[in-house]
Amino acid sequence: MQSRFIVIGAGLAGASAAAFLAEHGPVAILEAEDQPGYHTTGRSAASYIDTYGHPIVCAATRASRDFFWNPPAGFAEHPLVRPRAELEIARPEQAEALAAMLETHGSALRPVGREEILRLSPILRPGIDWSGAINEATADIDVDAVLQGFLRLAKARGAQLVTGARVTGLDRVAGGWRVRTPVGEFRADAVVNAAGAWAGEVGRLAGLGDLGLTPLRRTALKIEPAMKDGLADWPFVIDVEETFYFRPDGGGLMLSPADETPSEPCDAQPDEMDVAIAVDAFEQATTETVRRVAHRWAGLRTFAPDRIPVVGPDPREPAFLWLAGQGGYGIQTAPALAMAAAALATTGDIHAALKAQGVTAADLGPSRLL
């Protein structure tokens, strides 16, 4: 089977890229698992926070905003986002870190004092002299609706999804690539590497190395707090130095110790020590005692050495495109980065929404890592 593009991976990166690439010609999406979204995409905190991460990540997040708030007609049955403020909290000894954050993000963050913090998040310990900052332009993202919407859009534009198709070999042949999988061989003019934690491995299959992409495990757990008044509207609360966070999630709270443990690409599992660290950080900051962890999981956030996503053709082999290294921001940046991947694959330049945020093709491209 010959396509114009083969997209490797059907997480949110691959699904969204396929939807935009399919406007330009036949696309095959090859997914190793039996279902799309099984790995990192299905394990996130599902948040849109445009003051989170490297400034280029923040810019890509803002460039995605319009898509999340105004998706194309018929993309999903319900809104993709539900507004939820993000509250950065600091203890007195973290005043410098808070000042630095306020300086970096300017008017996107509003300073808040102890009283407002305790009103917004009533489980925080009243005995701590909290200070903080709030971002009110943030939201929860319905990740499954976004993933299914992109898969539907890709299919409507003629893309074909093949599951159980782990790419095991990539051979450069005349006019493109031959891609080997256990369910057969596929051919395409160009390949897009959207393999998440396996992106480095797929780069090596193409003979291009891994660009230093490193999967880092992050743990999450769900608990039910004793105090639940107004819980659905509580903000996403994060320590200003990102040592832990918690947010309302379906009647309970999701907590994370914000861990970053290097890992091989794999079906990531939570480590009991990281679960205990999350519970301890939460109990130290709040008036709650965690009696039971209802659910625990882990996912791999994959970073390039500079913690900026890698999007664009490889200069050594322009028919191989990277869409990788989205780190902890691959949901909130997906629309802008997928549009960028499609634009770079077809016109060689990025699109207007990213340019308007001051991002260039060179900021995202793999050349910076070679």
Ligand X SMILES: Cc1cc2nc3c(=O)[nH]c(=O)nc-3n(C[C@H](O)[C@H](O)[C@H](O)COP(=O)(O)OP(=O)(O)OC[C@H]3O[C@@H](n4cnc5c(N)ncnc54)[C@H](O)[C@@H]3O)c2cc1C
Q: Give 166 or 178: the residue with its C-beta nearer to ligand X.
A: 166
Q: Taking CB under 6 A as the rule, which mask of x and - marks residues 134-153 in contact with ligand X?
A: --------------------
Decide: is 31 part of the binding site for ligand X (CB under 6 A). yes
Contact predicate 110/235, CB 8 Å = no
For residue 179 the two structure tokens come to 């891609």
Q: Which 252-271 positions form the footprint of ligand X (CB under 6 A)?
A: 256
SS3 at position 339: helix
> Which CB, 94 or 326, lies closer to ligand X?
326
Question: Candidates 2-10, 20-28, 269-277, 335-343 — which segment interacts with ligand X by CB under 6 A?
Answer: 2-10
C-alpha to C-alpha distances, 299 to 44, 211, 218, nearest whole angstrom: 7, 21, 6
By CB under 6 A, the count of residues binding ligand X is 40
Q: Can residue 308 be called a binding residue for ligand X (CB under 6 A)?
A: no
Q: Does 75 bind ligand X (CB under 6 A)?
A: no
Interface with ligand X includes 39 (CB under 6 A)? Answer: yes
Nearest to 318 by CA among 339, 345, 299, 296: 345
Torsion of the alpha carbons at 339, 6, 39 and 169, rounded to the nearest 10 = -140
Residue 301 near ligand X by CB under 6 A: yes
Closest CA relative to residue 144, chosen from 51, 250, 22:
250
Footprint of ligand X on residues 178-217 (CB under 6 A)? 194-198, 202
Stretch that binds ligand X, among 26-34, 81-89, 149-157, 313-321 (CB under 6 A): 26-34
Going by C-alpha positions, the residue among 220, 287, 278 that lies closest to residue 249 is 220
Question: Could you tell me which residues come within 8 angstroms of residue 278 by beta carbon, excluding any fewer than 6 positions away?
Answer: 219, 221, 244, 255, 256, 257
Q: Is 11 in the site for ligand X (CB under 6 A)?
A: yes
Report the residue from 7, 18, 20, 43 that binds ligand X according to the rule CB under 6 A. 43
Examine residue 33 and tell whether it contacts ligand X (CB under 6 A).
yes
Q: Is 45 in the site for ligand X (CB under 6 A)?
A: yes
- The answer to whether 246 and 255 have CB atoms below 8 angstroms apart is yes
Residues forming the site for ligand X (CB under 6 A)? 8-14, 30-33, 38-41, 43-47, 166-167, 194-198, 202, 218, 220, 256, 299, 301, 326-332
